């Protein structure tokens, strides 16, 4: 069997290497640290957590729990074995001691005879190898250039500018109205929900936005300032746009042109447009509303938008440095490149967001790569599972509006007869996912 070459010994790379070894394959794991550091990592350990030490909720029947539960059932090293040993008390969240976590994973990698660790920077991708690219959001420049060469430079991004996503059921549709600008729609239906502002509402919203607190930047490149203006011009956070003048938002992402509020028969003073995404069931994206606000402030300020007074947030906006590819334009649900099936992507660079999501895609790529190297066809996870839904989003969302995703219930398929009560509904989605996973495991032992 061919060796699997893994670029990057972070969360995704280590989980991938472990999966390769457990399936009887051999992995070469390349990690450039400590010889070459990233702007966020501090140590030479593998699988270093660069910021928070939380692997999110362990509350049964939540989406982050479901993903972790599936990973445990699939024999994940990082979630199933190491996290419980490194766990520190933190209520319902799975929170770990970052030093123990990284040290234990490093030891597990070093002790495994089927894993060879090479402390070197990958700069080219030998076309004769099976590769898993797991070099993370801070991929080195040389490798980023090589990835751009094989994917096309217009499919590789260096900055994440994520707008918030809200639960469709929490939108007040007696205020938000359905319409496309100038009545122009791609498919004959009105594509957007529009939240209309009058002047008083706009002024109140702007004041709250300008007073909101920003998330402190983790790395120098993420700090707004003259040297970083180049980044921010491409994906300016709304609070930065607001600082440029009281009307700047009204002439930018909140422009009301071509829209008439059916309640007043007039053009609103400003609007926020909400777009439903095909790949996400029952949720809406606030178009152009990427922002840097603390999550608490974000919720408070965005609930001032008419129609969103009771909005439930499935994801908050973010703006930060992130190297990632346009997965839907490039990948299959097994995370292989469509044009070069021997190249897999995993972790943040594949277009997911978050520690556990990176681990999950590492597991998918590791299993797929070892199958391919053994002459088999890699198999996608069932669509009804959180693993399968994450991979389906990364490979099948709309490539034109692609934004990296955390696991949330709106990525999973809708139930046919959904119970009205949300708790019961989510419990049912989780039960269906775990049943589908068990079936898959029985069929593919």
Nearest-approach distance from CB 408 to ligand FAD, in angstroms: 13
143 part of the interface to ligand FAD, by CB under 6 A: yes
Stretch that binds ligand FAD, among 88-96, 248-256, 277-285, 349-357 (CB under 6 A): 349-357
CA distance 109 to 106: 5
Among 61, 76, 95, 135, binds ligand FAD (CB under 6 A): 135
Q: Which is nearer to ligand FAD, 354 or 382 (CB)?
A: 354
171 is an interface residue for ligand FAD by CB under 6 A? no
Task: Based on the shown chain and the rule CB under 6 A, indicate whether residue 65 belongs to the binding site for ligand FAD.
Answer: no
Q: Nearer to ligand FAD by C-beta: 102 or 193?
A: 102
With contacts defined by CB under 6 A, how many residues of the chain interact with ligand FAD?
Answer: 36
* Binding track, positions 13-52, relative to ligand FAD; x by CB under 6 A: x----------------xxxx----x-xx--------xxx
User: Minimum CB separation from ligand FAD for residue 98, in Å?
Assistant: 11
275/179 Cα distance (integer angstroms)? 11
5 part of the interface to ligand FAD, by CB under 6 A:
no
- Closest residue by beta carbon to ligand FAD: 10
According to the binding rule CB under 6 A, does residue 355 interact with ligand FAD? yes
Site residues for ligand FAD, window 215-234 (CB under 6 A)? 218-219
Stretch that binds ligand FAD, among 98-106, 241-249, 353-361, 376-384 (CB under 6 A): 353-361
Q: Which of 4, 11, 102, 193 binds ligand FAD (CB under 6 A)?
A: 11
Among 23, 77, 117, 134, binds ligand FAD (CB under 6 A): 134
CA 363 to CA 347: how far, in whole Å?
A: 10
Nearer to ligand FAD, 307 or 347 (CB): 347
Shortest Cβ 325–ligand FAD spacing (Å): 12
State how beta strands 4-7 and 27-30 pair: parallel
Task: Answer yes or no whether residue 354 interacts with ligand FAD by CB under 6 A.
Answer: yes
> Shortest Cβ distance from residue 293 to ligand FAD (Å)?
16
Q: Binding ligand FAD by CB under 6 A: which of 139, 194, 273, 283?
A: 139
Q: Are 404 and 315 in contact (CB under 8 A)?
A: no
113 CB-near residues (< 8 Å, 6+ apart): none
Kindly tell me which of 11 and 71 has the beta carbon lying closer to ligand FAD. 11
For residues 310 to 329, the per-residue mask of contacts with ligand FAD, x marking binding by CB under 6 A and - elsewhere, is -----------x--------
Q: Give the binding range for ligand FAD (CB under 6 A) out of 3-11, 237-245, 305-313, 432-440.
A: 3-11
- Give residues in contact with ligand FAD (CB under 6 A): 7-13, 30-33, 38, 40-41, 50-52, 121-122, 134-140, 143, 218-219, 321, 347-349, 354-355, 358
């Amino acid at each position: 069997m061919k060796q699997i070459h893994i670029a990057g010994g972070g969360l995704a790379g280590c989980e991938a290497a472990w999966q390769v070894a457990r399936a009887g394959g051999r992995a070469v794991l390349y990690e450039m640290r400590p010889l070459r550091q990233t702007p966020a990592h501090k140590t030479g350990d593998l699988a270093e957590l660069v910021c928070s030490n939380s692997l999110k909720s362990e509350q049964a029947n939540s989406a982050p729990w479901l993903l972790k539960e599936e990973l445990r059932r699939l024999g994940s090293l990082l979630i199933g074995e190491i996290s419980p040993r490194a766990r520190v008390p933190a209520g319902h969240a799975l929170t770990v001691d970052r030093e123990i976590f990284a040290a234990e994973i490093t030891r597990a990698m070093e002790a495994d005879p089927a894993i060879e660790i090479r402390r070197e920077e990958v700069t080219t991708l030998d076309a004769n190898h099976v590769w898993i690219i797991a070099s993370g959001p801070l991929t080195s420049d040389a490798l980023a250039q090589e990835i751009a060469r094989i994917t096309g430079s217009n499919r590789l991004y260096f900055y994440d500018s994520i707008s918030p996503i809200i639960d469709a059921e929490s939108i007040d549709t007696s205020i938000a109205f359905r319409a496309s600008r100038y009545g122009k729609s791609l498919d004959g239906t009105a594509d957007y929900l529009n939240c209309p502002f009058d002047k008083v509402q706009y002024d109140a919203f702007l004041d709250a936005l300008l007073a909101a607190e920003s998330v402190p930047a983790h790395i120098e490149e993420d700090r707004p300032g003259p040297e970083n203006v180049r980044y921010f011009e491409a994906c300016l956070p709304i609070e930065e746009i607001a600082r440029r003048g009281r009307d700047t938002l009204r002439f930018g992402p909140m422009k009301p042109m071509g829209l008439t509020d059916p309640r007043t028969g007039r053009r609103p003073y400003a609007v926020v447009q909400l777009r439903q995404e095909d790949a996400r069931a029952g949720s809406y994206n606030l178009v152009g509303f990427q922002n840097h606000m603390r999550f608490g402030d974000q919720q408070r300020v965005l609930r001032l938008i008419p129609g969103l007074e009771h909005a439930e947030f499935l994801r908050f906006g973010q703006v930060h440095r992130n190297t990632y590819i346009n997965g839907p334009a490039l990948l299959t649900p097994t995370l292989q490149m469509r044009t070069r099936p021997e190249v897999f992507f995993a972790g943040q660079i594949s277009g997911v967001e978050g520690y556990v999501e990176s681990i999950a895609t590492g597991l998918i790529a590791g299993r797929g790569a070892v199958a391919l190297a053994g002459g088999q066809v890699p198999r996608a996870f069932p669509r009804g599972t959180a693993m399968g839904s994450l991979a389906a989003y990364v490979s099948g969302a709309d490539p034109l509006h692609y934004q990296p995703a955390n696991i949330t219930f709106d990525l999973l398929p809708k139930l046919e007869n959904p119970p009205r009560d949300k708790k019961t509904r989510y419990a049912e989605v989780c039960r269906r996912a775990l049943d589908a996973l068990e079936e898959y495991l029985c069929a593919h032992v």
